[in-house]
Chain A
Amino acid sequence: MFGLEKKDTSLLLIVAVLTMFAPFILNPFPTDSALAQFNAGYPDLMQRFVIFGIFAIGFNILFGLTGYLSFGHAAFLGVGSYAAVWMFKLIGMNVLPAILLAIIVSGLFSVIIGYVSLRRSGIYFSILTLAFAQMSFALAYSVLTPITGGETGLQLALDDPRILGVSQTAEGNIPVPSLFGLEMRSTAELVVGPWEFVFNVGYYTSALFMLASFYLAIRIFRSPFGMMLRAVKSNQQRMNYTGLNTRPYTLAAFVISGMYAGLAGGLMASMDPLAGAERMQWTASGEVVLMTILGGAGTLIGPVLGAGFIKYFENIFSKINDNVLHGWFAFLPDGMEDFVVFIIHPFIGKGWHLTLGILFMMVVIFLPGGLVEGGQRISSWVRGRKSEDKAKGKTEPAE
């Protein structure tokens, strides 16, 4: 189906089913139970899962296929966000033009940065992209304040023109982003016994974009162009000696992946119409590298898993505080309770970085292929030895 091999079709279908039923899958615990803390099925986090999924898929096209480690990809995400917010300010609150402009602008931006940075490879390429991203961050934070809003970020205001829409709603508020009148924030709730599931328009819009970009990524991975990119990764020098100019291929991959980042940025601004300079900081660029490596670089599904993993920790673990812990361990005797809370304390709340760091180290040490390798090991263990070749799992690494 869709011009894909059977294996890839089923992978796409699995991802489609997972994203469509995410509100159920991510809310496994009843709302009033103590474990509800671990529920991730609320609109904002679900949107983040798929949007950072798109970002990581795009990054993987560059890093996973060509091996070029860009350390400044967040710049494209930021540029996309700024472009989208400007569209909301000037044109109107429909998300489609905003997303379109976000993709175009970040594409152009990545042509410029890619053209310069791709003259070098390896660590020099990483440093160049990092430098460009930090430059963009610094510019957005201070010098370009009239365009970017500086520290406070670019926001909508009541007196923006919005020539194809209204400057303010009848109630005197700023209109919200919508898709032809369907508001991104509108949410329906389904209550089944003690469970509560939320279905959010913004999430499903982002999810459809994510599926489209996932499909496109599969096509790129399986195309002759993708093969060429893998060849660049395995031995670029040999390619050059055979008389092949690799730069157009790497530049194309760079621009495609920049446009993916722009799409993610545009979607982020559509879900929450604000663009801040922090989006371009090097930590944000580093985060997408972590996502890709954590999930499994060069695999199709890996970056999406990695993105979900990191965002889950950032949003769920950082919100557990001592009070919550005391609630969980209230059944223990007093001294024991305090002791257990004392032991766990460094790993939750502000310590979420620590927990994530430990898990990241464990993944890199024990599962060099990322979470995907973990999945493959489990599935091959389940299926036993006899079907070992088939048990390679639903995806395979680039090399």
Chain B
Amino acid sequence: MTKSDVTRRGVLKSGAMVGAGVALPTIFTASSAAAYTNEPTGSSVTLGFNVPQTGPYADEGADELRAYELAVEHLNGGGDGGMMNTFSSKALKGNGILGKKVEFVTGDTQTKSDAARASAKSMIEKDGAVMITGGSSSGVAVAVQALCQEAGVIFMAGLTHSNDTTGKDKRANGFRHFFNSYMSGAALAPILAKNYGNDRKAYHLTADYNWGYTTEEAVRTSTEAMGWETVAAVKTPLTATDFSSYIAPVLQSGADVLVLNHYGGNMVNSLTNAVQFGLRDKLVNNKNFEIVVPLYSRLMAKGAGANVKGIYGSTNWHWSLQDEGSKAFVKSFGTKYGFPPSQAAHTCYVQALLYADACERAGTFNPCGVAEALEGFEFDGMGNGKTLYRADDHQCFKDVLVVRGKENPTSEFDLLEIVEVTPVSQVTYDASIFGGDLGTCNNGA
């Protein structure tokens, strides 16, 4: 080390350097004159598909990406048009969006809020994406939604089931087509009462994170309203793979129904454990012991195999639906990829089409114009019957499917059967019950 030799020249030099460094960002203050973030000026428009390609929900992410690619193909006039033919709004013409060819960039959310935001940011800052969509967990959806609000682009949520996405953490630039925990609870409860009676004792196992809490609360509230009693609600770590130690106390508790507020791999493992423990063969309080899984997906049913037989749950959409929209979507997805789409694929495909349609109807890509076109928009022919994008919280309201694991599946995709389509009126709630504030639309200008 040398002694510090402060010379006049040295001070001047370093002063100039620091000055230049500080001044640099302010020299070019003329920010671009675009009316809103990433206004598409060329002959194409870029959408950002931000899905989990690695991590626990990579399967869902891969299916989402397939759906997006199909949607882009249909928007650009390729393929058989899929749901564009059954969609009640006829604004889309198959020539891209507002005459601009649809291009897309993809990114990996890794199912981590940080990585998802980094990926979304690079799409917005580098690739000029005017809309971000996708994701397979509520944590990511909420994080990316807040980012899009700040940046001034539209966010069309993918698979996210927590009440918070359009509740406590809702944002003016964010929209969700998927249903939520509250709706699951409201749709399931009457079916459960009908099949299992009004005097059941329920035991909850809940994944120890935000989605688990809201789902447990929703199911609990709606089943208790019918007269069920909640014996206990135990939180399980998200990383748990063996649930036997959580299953054993269930029988001693005197409960006769087990509710598994688990998703993905958690649910596959806990359900398998519960069935292996022979819970379903037990008689408690002179009633058959039953298991309920509030949120079902085909990919989960596949993982749990024969264990799902006869178990009730709810789902956003299922490929075996027989309306025109679902049939058209299953047909074009099946033709392209050789197997039926999952509910994640469905919601993402629909979100992409809804966004494109809103741009067409608004006549602009300006997020505020698009948001206005989506708010209060009523549509049909997208597989869930009549649907409303509620203006108060940007949540879609549509029928909810109650499903049951099929006793005699005919193929590896035919695992769930639809028990009932719960009408939308039964799952609608007041927008204010979850708190939160939409704020105002931000177009980044």
Beta-carbon contacts under 8 Å, B216-267 to A: 235, 237-238
Beta-carbon contacts under 8 Å, B157-191 to A: 162, 164, 169
- Is B384 interfacial (CB-CB < 8 Å)? no
Most chain A Cβ neighbours within 10 Å, of B3, B24, B29: B24
Which listed residue (B106, B139, B150, B169) contacts A176, Cβ 8 A?
Answer: B150
| B113 A276 Cβ-Cβ under 8 A | yes
- Is B149 interfacial (CB-CB < 8 Å)? yes
Beta-carbon contacts under 8 Å, A4-44 to B: 4-5, 16, 20, 39, 42-44
| A43 B440 Cβ-Cβ under 8 A | no
| B164 A152 Cβ-Cβ under 8 A | yes
Q: A44-B125, A319-B107, A350-B108 are in contact. Are A208 and B210 (CB under 8 A)?
A: no
Q: A274-B143, A315-B119 are in contact. Are A173 and B28 (CB under 8 A)?
A: no
In the complex, what distance in Å separates the CA atom of A153 from the CA atom of B32? 33
| B150 A318 Cβ-Cβ under 8 A | no
Q: Encode B1-28 as 1/0 by CB contact (under 8 A) with A.
A: 1111000001000100100111011111
Mark the stretch among A105-113, A186-194, A239-247, A370-378 that contacts chain B: A186-194
- Is A388 interfacial (CB-CB < 8 Å)? no
Q: Which chain A residue lies CB-closest to B112?
A: A278
In the complex, what distance in Å separates the CA atom of A274 from the CA atom of B162? 19
Beta-carbon contacts under 8 Å, A300-354 to B: 314-315, 318-319, 321, 323, 349-350, 352-353
- Is A367 interfacial (CB-CB < 8 Å)? no
| A315 B122 Cβ-Cβ under 8 A | yes
Q: Which residues of B contact A394 (CB under 8 A)?
A: none
- Is A94 interfacial (CB-CB < 8 Å)? no
Beta-carbon contacts under 8 Å, A151-167 to B: 151-153, 155-159
Q: Which chain A residue lies CB-closest to B210?
A: A151
- Nearest-Cβ distance from residue A313 to partner chain B, whole angstroms: 12
In the complex, what distance in Å separates the CA atom of A198 from the CA atom of B113? 25
In the complex, what distance in Å separates the CA atom of A186 from the CA atom of B123? 17
Q: Which residues of A contact B107 (CB under 8 A)?
A: 318-319
- Nearest-Cβ distance from residue B134 to partner chain A, whole angstroms: 13
Q: Which residues of B contact A203 (CB under 8 A)?
A: 25
Q: Which residues of A contact B283 (CB under 8 A)?
A: none
| B139 A153 Cβ-Cβ under 8 A | yes
- Is B194 interfacial (CB-CB < 8 Å)? no
Q: Which residues of B contact A172 (CB under 8 A)?
A: 439-440
Interface size on B, residues (CB 8 A): 64
Which listed residue (A159, A171, A207, A318) contacts B108, Cβ 8 A?
Answer: A318
| A152 B31 Cβ-Cβ under 8 A | no
Q: Which residues of B contact A353 (CB under 8 A)?
A: 54
In the complex, what distance in Å separates the CA atom of A279 from the CA atom of B115? 10
- Is A142 interfacial (CB-CB < 8 Å)? yes
| B122 A44 Cβ-Cβ under 8 A | yes
- Is B138 interfacial (CB-CB < 8 Å)? yes
- Is A214 interfacial (CB-CB < 8 Å)? no
Q: Which chain A residue lies CB-closest to B235?
A: A142
Q: Which residues of B contact A3 (CB under 8 A)?
A: 1-4
- Is B121 interfacial (CB-CB < 8 Å)? yes
- Is B333 interfacial (CB-CB < 8 Å)? no
Q: Which residues of A contact B209 (CB under 8 A)?
A: 141-142, 150-151
| B113 A278 Cβ-Cβ under 8 A | yes
Q: Which residues of A contact B138 (CB under 8 A)?
A: 151-152
In the complex, what distance in Å separates the CA atom of A303 from the CA atom of B54? 26
| A4 B2 Cβ-Cβ under 8 A | yes
In the complex, what distance in Å separates the CA atom of A174 from the CA atom of B3? 49
Q: Which residues of A contact B4 (CB under 8 A)?
A: 2-3
| B125 A276 Cβ-Cβ under 8 A | no
Which listed residue (B24, B58, B118, B442) contacts A173, Cβ 8 A?
Answer: B442
| B1 A349 Cβ-Cβ under 8 A | no
- Nearest-Cβ distance from residue B415 to partner chain A, whole angstroms: 26
- Nearest-Cβ distance from residue B55 to partner chain A, whole angstroms: 10
Chain A interface size range: 35 or more
- Nearest-Cβ distance from residue A124 to partner chain B, whole angstroms: 23
- Nearest-Cβ distance from residue A209 to partner chain B, whole angstroms: 12
In the complex, what distance in Å separates the CA atom of A323 from the CA atom of B17? 44
- Is B332 interfacial (CB-CB < 8 Å)? no
| A158 B437 Cβ-Cβ under 8 A | yes
Q: Which residues of A contact B39 (CB under 8 A)?
A: none
In the complex, what distance in Å separates the CA atom of A314 from the CA atom of B115? 9
| B439 A186 Cβ-Cβ under 8 A | no
A-B residue pair count with CB separations less than 8 angstroms: 165
| A350 B58 Cβ-Cβ under 8 A | yes
| A350 B119 Cβ-Cβ under 8 A | no
Most chain A Cβ neighbours within 10 Å, of B104, B108, B147, B213: B108
Q: A42-B122, A45-B122, A138-B237 are in contact. Are A278 and B106 (CB under 8 A)?
A: no
Which listed residue (B25, B126, B437) contacts A200, Cβ 8 A?
Answer: B25
- Is A199 interfacial (CB-CB < 8 Å)? yes
Most chain A Cβ neighbours within 10 Å, of B1, B29, B106, B126: B126
In the complex, what distance in Å separates the CA atom of A279 from the CA atom of B114? 7
- Is A222 interfacial (CB-CB < 8 Å)? yes
Q: A276-B112, A278-B113 are in contact. Are A159 and B437 (CB under 8 A)?
A: yes
Q: A152-B142, A279-B114 are in contact. Are A186 and B31 (CB under 8 A)?
A: yes
| A150 B210 Cβ-Cβ under 8 A | yes
- Is A132 interfacial (CB-CB < 8 Å)? no
| B2 A151 Cβ-Cβ under 8 A | no
- Is B105 interfacial (CB-CB < 8 Å)? yes
| B118 A48 Cβ-Cβ under 8 A | yes
Most chain B Cβ neighbours within 10 Å, of A43, A173, A190, A279: A173
- Nearest-Cβ distance from residue A128 to partner chain B, whole angstroms: 20
Q: Which residues of A contact B235 (CB under 8 A)?
A: 142
- Is A396 interfacial (CB-CB < 8 Å)? no
Q: Which residues of A contact B162 (CB under 8 A)?
A: 152
Which listed residue (B28, B32, B123, B126) contacts A199, Cβ 8 A?
Answer: B28
Beta-carbon contacts under 8 Å, A248-296 to B: 272, 274, 276, 278-279, 281
| B30 A44 Cβ-Cβ under 8 A | no
| A155 B439 Cβ-Cβ under 8 A | no
- Is B84 interfacial (CB-CB < 8 Å)? no
Q: Encode B325-350 as 1/0 by CB contact (under 8 A) with A.
A: 00000000000000000000000000
Q: Which residues of B contact A204 (CB under 8 A)?
A: 21-22, 24-25
In the complex, what distance in Å separates the CA atom of A33 from the CA atom of B213? 48
- Is A201 interfacial (CB-CB < 8 Å)? yes
Q: Which residues of A contact B105 (CB under 8 A)?
A: 319, 321
- Is B146 interfacial (CB-CB < 8 Å)? yes
- Is A168 interfacial (CB-CB < 8 Å)? yes
Q: Which residues of A contact B113 (CB under 8 A)?
A: 152-153, 274, 276, 278
- Is B420 interfacial (CB-CB < 8 Å)? no
Q: Which residues of A contact B3 (CB under 8 A)?
A: 3
Q: Which residues of B contact A173 (CB under 8 A)?
A: 149-150, 439-440, 442
- Nearest-Cβ distance from residue B171 to partner chain A, whole angstroms: 9
Offer 12 A-B interface pairs, CB within 8 angstroms, sorted by A. Answer: A4-B2, A39-B126, A42-B125, A43-B121, A159-B437, A171-B440, A173-B149, A188-B26, A208-B21, A276-B139, A314-B118, A319-B106
Please name the 8 residue pairs, one residue from A and one from B, whose CB atoms are nearest each other, closest first: A350-B53, A188-B28, A276-B113, A172-B440, A44-B121, A3-B4, A151-B209, A278-B112
Known: A151-B138, A319-B123, A321-B106. 6 other contacts (CB 8 A): A3-B2, A152-B162, A155-B142, A158-B437, A188-B28, A281-B112
